[in-house]
A and B are shown apart, each in its own frame.
Chain A
Amino acid sequence: MTTATSELAIDVRHASKTYRRKVYALRDVSLQVAPGEIFGLLGPNGAGKSTLVKILMTVIRPTSVEGSMLGRPIGHKPTLRWVGYLPEHLRFPSYLDGWQAVSYFGALSLVPAAERRKRGRELLELVGMSQWLTHKISTYSKGMRQRLGLAVALIADPQIIVLDEPTDGVDPVGRKEIRDVLLELRRRGKTVFVNSHLLGELELVCDRVAIMSKGTVIRQGTIDELTRRSKRYEFVIVGDAPKDSTTDAMLKQFAARCESRPQDQTTFIELNTADPTEVQPFVDLLRARGVTIISARPVRQSLEDLFMATIRDEGDKTPGAVMGNGQAHAKGAH
């Protein structure tokens, strides 16, 4: 994290939420989001992602929390004027039409009527809902409601946009459009905080991510930082890999960082290095031994692989005594 604390858009420290009967939804969670970045919050169901988001939005009262949002303490109501929010399981009043919903929630965000009219039309255009302005929300599909929710989240021209599962129920075309909207928001200098379990979606847009499990943040950083260790080169060659590594010093040196598996008439070799300069001698070595290289490409772990590996490691380490928000509610948290 290179940004100074005072400049952070969101700075959560030691956030905890314990429901009755010692059900822990969050345990000492800390994370930082810099202005103008898209920050992704990942985690399996029940990890505490929505609880954290709801604490930021004052929907849930934390057991304890420190830190700030836009420079004001977390939970400071007037600051929410500058924060847009799209909740999970969004439910609009069905008796409103699209335009009325945008205008209603805009008014609750203290947006003047003239501004609501102007910006509302632009936003509904942006999310592809301008044709549905006067239709009752009860006639909308789930994807259309999500798009409308996005427009509502943006009506106050917020500095931070908090999106809880924004692509939930949205078709692939809609997802792409939402991704484009997020990128456009970043381009305009907005901070976007996305909570999603669609890792592929996040990987395409997020600058930084945090992975949560069982109420705690287990890893956070840029996708590059988190996957650096997994970077490697993959080769496919014709025939078998060279066998005389015991006699050749250079091959011996590479053998420690190589894994190979035969595949039909070819062999698949993984070289564990992220540095292309280190790869060149290996290529030279293969070529010197007359090996035909079919392909050579740099690869890194996908966010999904990273996520699965992290959760698996965490599951091995931590005893499961923590429950997520949904489970906590079911356990009589009120």
Chain B
Amino acid sequence: MQTFALLLDSWRLLVSRKLFWLTLVLNVLVVVLYGSIAITESGVSLGFGLWEIESEQFRAGSGLAKTVLLPFINYQLISFWLAWVATGLGLITTASIFPDFLAEGAIDMVLAKPMSRAKAFFVKYLGALLFVVMQVTIFCLGSFIVARVRLGEWQWMLFASIPLVTLFFSYIYCVSVLVGVMTRSSIAAILAAAIFWMSLWAVQSAERVTHRIYAGFAIEVELREKMLARDKVDFDAMTAKGMTSDDNAYERLRGEIESLDKRIDDRRATRDTAASWFNGFHLASSALPKTQATISLLDRWFASNSDQPTSLTEMLMTTASRRRAQRDLDAADFVPETDDDVERLVGRRTDARVTREENERSLPWVLGTSVAFELAVLGVAVWIFRRRDF
């Protein structure tokens, strides 16, 4: 009875906020915007036919539009809109819930009831998460219907975004709650959430960048080691043939081997430095909530359920270029001939390796460590709340 009453009160609080309705209207607008995209005979139509974009690739009957463009927009909308815009609005809307709850004269009425403080705290917290659940559910429902109309299939995977986006929101909101409990100030709670969110973004971006640098140098070292091994075999063959330093080819190859050796040493040193930076950021990131990785789970699940693209680069690649790239990547024993070959392969393989290694991070690791952080922050908040005199 008490739990229901507190949740009902949270619901009443949320619907009394103008921001709740503003976010709802924005969500519906985004869904309508998505629904306004249609595939026509000549290309893509936007705004229910207001604008036409002629396209050979994306037009009715091409197959590409239905299998690539619309699903891509669908999932990118969730990743961007829900994870960033709706969450930001949600944090602003819900930041005052705890400061208002703890205000003098208001909290007395709740604490004087036959209910533990911990229960009041956690139910109130769950009530705040209702905001996100409501908004995401409405958005997903709309997208689900639009996807059925436009794609002709039920995209049940869309509903996975409800728990994921709610988790994403809760990672940041718990900090807002902690500061709200400590200061009883909505402004301080919003500021703390914003700073924390930015810090997470900074740490995760730094981790990703150092990961890319590290992976890039590691791949380069691997490729150049293959080149070195091949050159050494060639050199040994030349020696076996009795060639000496008087021969230009023999001397040039020896020079190349020395240069390659030196370059590999140089790259190894850089790789090791990048590795230590990456390990540092990875360690920091491990202890913090994984916001990007949590939302990326959607992409991961989506990718594992179809052969559709999950990134803009991938989407823009033609089928032929995708096949070529895939062939390069698959050819593990391919040995580059030139520096240009190395650069090209490093560029291609780095993305793939980073994505693969990130995708190898298990679900319990991504969600478990994030939820552990959230529980730790909430633990501190509830400890303060339970001990505090009002």
* A and B physically associate: yes
The distance in angstroms between the C-alpha atoms of A77 and B116, with both chains bound, is 7
Q: Which residues of B contact A109 (CB under 8 A)?
A: 113-114
In chain B, positions 69-120 with a C-beta closer than 8 Å to chain A are 100, 103-116
CB proximity of A144 to chain B, nearest CB, Å: 15
Q: Which of B9-17, B226-234, B270-278 contacts A (4 or more CB under 8 A)?
A: B9-17
Asked whether B112 lies within 8 Å of A107 as measured between CB atoms, the reply is no
Q: Which of B151-159, B204-212, B382-390 contacts A (4 or more CB under 8 A)?
A: B382-390
Q: From B106, which residue of chain A is reached at the shortest CB distance?
A: A91
The distance in angstroms between the C-alpha atoms of A109 and B1, with both chains bound, is 9
The distance in angstroms between the C-alpha atoms of A78 and B2, with both chains bound, is 13
The distance in angstroms between the C-alpha atoms of A91 and B103, with both chains bound, is 8
Asked whether A79 lies within 8 Å of B106 as measured between CB atoms, the reply is no
Chain A CB within 8 A of B5 CB? yes
* Interface residue from A59, A83, A108, A112 paired with B108 (Cβ < 8 Å): A59
Q: From B103, which residue of chain A is reached at the shortest CB distance?
A: A91
Asked whether A93 lies within 8 Å of B108 as measured between CB atoms, the reply is no
Describe A's contact surface by its main secondary structure. Answer: loop
Q: Which residues of A contact B109 (CB under 8 A)?
A: 85, 87, 90, 92, 105, 152
Asked whether A334 lies within 8 Å of B103 as measured between CB atoms, the reply is no
| A93-B13 contact given A57-B112, A81-B114, A87-B112, CB 8 Å threshold | yes
Chain B CB within 8 A of A250 CB? no
Chain B CB within 8 A of A282 CB? no
Chain A CB within 8 A of B316 CB? no
Chain A CB within 8 A of B8 CB? yes
Place the interface of chain A in its size category: 20 to 34
Asked whether A91 lies within 8 Å of B114 as measured between CB atoms, the reply is no
Convert A102-134 into 0s and 1s, putting 1 for each residue whose CB lies closer than 8 angstroms to a CB of B.
001101111010000000000000000000000
The distance in angstroms between the C-alpha atoms of A91 and B106, with both chains bound, is 5
* Interface residue from B16, B106, B113, B116 paired with A92 (Cβ < 8 Å): B106
CB proximity of A109 to chain B, nearest CB, Å: 6
Q: Which residues of B contact A95 (CB under 8 A)?
A: 12-13, 16
Asked whether A108 lies within 8 Å of B111 as measured between CB atoms, the reply is no
CB proximity of B244 to chain A, nearest CB, Å: 86
Q: From B111, which residue of chain A is reached at the shortest CB distance?
A: A59
The distance in angstroms between the C-alpha atoms of A152 and B108, with both chains bound, is 13
Chain B CB within 8 A of A300 CB? no
Q: Which residues of B contact A112 (CB under 8 A)?
A: 1
| A108-B389 contact given A83-B112, A90-B105, CB 8 Å threshold | no
CB proximity of B39 to chain A, nearest CB, Å: 45
Q: From A103, which residue of chain B is reached at the shortest CB distance?
A: B5
Q: Which residues of B contact A60 (CB under 8 A)?
A: 389-390
Asked whether B2 lies within 8 Å of A107 as measured between CB atoms, the reply is yes
The distance in angstroms between the C-alpha atoms of A14 and B364, with both chains bound, is 52
Q: Which residues of A contact B103 (CB under 8 A)?
A: 91
Asked whether B13 lies within 8 Å of A89 as measured between CB atoms, the reply is no
Chain A CB within 8 A of B4 CB? yes
CB proximity of B150 to chain A, nearest CB, Å: 39
* Interface residue from B100, B104, B388 paired with A89 (Cβ < 8 Å): B104
Asked whether A91 lies within 8 Å of B105 as measured between CB atoms, the reply is yes
Q: From B13, which residue of chain A is reached at the shortest CB distance?
A: A95
Chain B CB within 8 A of A54 CB? yes
| A85-B114 contact given A54-B390, A59-B389, A93-B13, CB 8 Å threshold | no
Chain B CB within 8 A of A176 CB? no
The distance in angstroms between the C-alpha atoms of A293 and B237, with both chains bound, is 145
* Interface residue from A77, A87, A89, A333 paired with B114 (Cβ < 8 Å): A77
* Interface residue from B9, B100, B390 paired with A104 (Cβ < 8 Å): B9
Asked whether A54 lies within 8 Å of B16 as measured between CB atoms, the reply is no
The distance in angstroms between the C-alpha atoms of A77 and B109, with both chains bound, is 13
Seed contacts A59-B108, A107-B1; 14 additional CB < 8 Å A-B pairs:
A54-B389, A57-B112, A59-B389, A60-B390, A61-B389, A78-B114, A79-B114, A80-B112, A80-B114, A93-B12, A108-B6, A109-B114, A152-B109, A334-B389
Binding site for B on A (CB under 8 A): 54, 57-61, 77-81, 83, 85, 87-93, 95-96, 100, 104-105, 107-110, 112, 152, 333-334
Binding site for A on B (CB under 8 A): 1-2, 4-6, 8-9, 12-13, 16, 100, 103-116, 387-390
Question: Could you list 24 examples of A-B contacts with CB < 8 Å?
Answer: A54-B389, A58-B111, A58-B112, A59-B107, A59-B112, A59-B390, A78-B114, A80-B112, A80-B113, A80-B114, A85-B109, A87-B109, A89-B105, A90-B108, A90-B109, A93-B9, A95-B12, A95-B13, A96-B12, A104-B5, A109-B113, A109-B114, A110-B114, A334-B389
> Across chains A and B, which 4 residue pairs bring their CB atoms closest together, nearest first?
A91-B105, A107-B5, A95-B16, A87-B108
